[in-house]
Structure 1
Amino acid sequence: MKIVCTKSSLLQGVNIVLKAVSNKTTLPILECILLEVSNQTITLTANDMELGIETVIEGNVLEPGKIALNAKLFSEIVRKLPDNDITITTNSSHQAVITCEKSKFTISGQGGEDFPLLPEIEKQQSITISQFMLKEVIRQTIFSISDNESNKLMTGELFEISDDNLKVVSLDGHRISIRNIELKDCYENIKVVVPGKTLSDLSKILNGGTEDEVHIYFTNKHILFELDQTIVVSRLLEGEYYNINQMLSTDYETKIQINKKEFLNCIDRASLLIRESDKKPIVINIQEDSMQLSIQSFIGSMKEEIYIRKEGKDLLIGFNPKFLMDALRVIDDEVIDIYLVNPKAPCFIKDAAQSYVYLILPVNFNAANI
Structure 2
Amino acid sequence: MKFEIMRHRLLEGLNDVMKAVSSKTTTPILTGIKLEVTEDGLRLTGSDSDITIQTFIKSEENGDQMIRVIEEGSIVVQARMFNEIIRKLPTSDVEIEVKENYHTHIHSGKSEFHIIGLEPSEYPLLPEIQDDRQFIMPADLLKSIVRETVFAVSPSESRPVLTGVHWQVKNGELVCVATDSHRLARRKVILVQLPEGEYSVVIPGKSLNELSKIIGDSSEPVYIAMTSQQVLFKTGNVLLYSRLLEGNYPDTSRLIPTEYKTTVSMNGKVLFQAIDRASLMAREERNNIVRLSSIEGNIVEISSSSPEIGEVEEEIQTTSIEGEEIKISFSAKYMMDALRALDGHDVIVQFTGAMRPFILNSVHDEGVLQLIVPVRTY
CA distance in 2, matches of 1:279, 1:304: 20
Question: What is the CA-CA distance between 1:207 and the residue it aligns to?
Answer: 3.0
Question: What is the CA-CA distance between 1:25 and the residue it aligns to?
Answer: 2.5
CA contact (8 A) 1:281 1:319 kept: yes
TM-score (norm 2): 0.93
Number of residue pairs the alignment of both structures matches: 365
CA distance in 1, matches of 2:186, 2:90: 46
Partner of 1:201: 210
Structure 1 gap ranges (5+): none
The AA in structure 2 aligned to 1:191 is S
Where does structure 1 differ by over 6 angstroms across 4 or more consecutive aligned residues?
A: none
Write the deviation string for residues 106-137 of structure 1: whole angstroms up to 9, x where unpaired.
11111111111111112221111011111111
Query: Kindly tell me: are residues 351 and 11 of structure 1, through their superposed partners in 2, closer, same or farther at Cα, counting changes over 3 Å?
Result: same
Look up the SS of the partner of 1:185 in the other structure. coil
Q: Show the 5 A alignment for 1:80-95.
A: 80-82=88-90, 84-95=92-103
| Identity %, equivalent residues | 36
Question: What is the CA-CA distance between 1:79 and the residue it aligns to?
Answer: 1.6
Write the deviation string for residues 167-224 of structure 1: whole angstroms up to 9, x where unpaired.
11100010000011121234222211111111111111013444x1111111111111
TM-score (norm 1): 0.95
1:224 equivalent to 2:232? Answer yes
CA contact (8 A) 1:40 1:60 kept: no
CA distance in 1, matches of 2:284, 2:139: 35
Partner of 1:146: 154
Partner of 2:64: none
Question: What is the CA-CA distance between 1:354 and the residue it aligns to?
Answer: 2.6
**What is the root-mean-square deviation of aligned Cα atoms in Å?**
1.5
CA contact (8 A) 2:342 2:362 kept: no
Partner of 1:323: 334
Partner of 2:24: 24
CA contact (8 A) 1:294 1:304 kept: yes
Look up the SS of the partner of 1:237 in the other structure. coil
Question: What is the CA-CA distance between 1:316 and the residue it aligns to?
Answer: 0.7
Write the deviation string for residues 137-161 of structure 1: whole angstroms up to 9, x where unpaired.
1011111000111101100011111
Q: Show the 5 A alignment for 1:314-353.
A: 314-332=325-343, 334-351=345-362
CA contact (8 A) 1:53 1:231 kept: yes
Write the deviation string for residues 14-58 of structure 1: whole angstroms up to 9, x where unpaired.
111112113222321110000111232200001222211110124
Question: What is the CA-CA distance between 1:332 and the residue it aligns to?
Answer: 3.0
Look up the SS of the partner of 1:200 in the other structure. helix
CA distance in 2, matches of 1:183, 1:207: 22
CA contact (8 A) 2:157 2:163 kept: yes
CA contact (8 A) 1:163 1:186 kept: no
CA contact (8 A) 1:283 1:319 kept: yes
CA distance in 1, matches of 2:10, 2:140: 25
1:158 equivalent to 2:170? Answer no
Structure 2 gap ranges (5+): 59-66
CA contact (8 A) 2:5 2:95 kept: yes
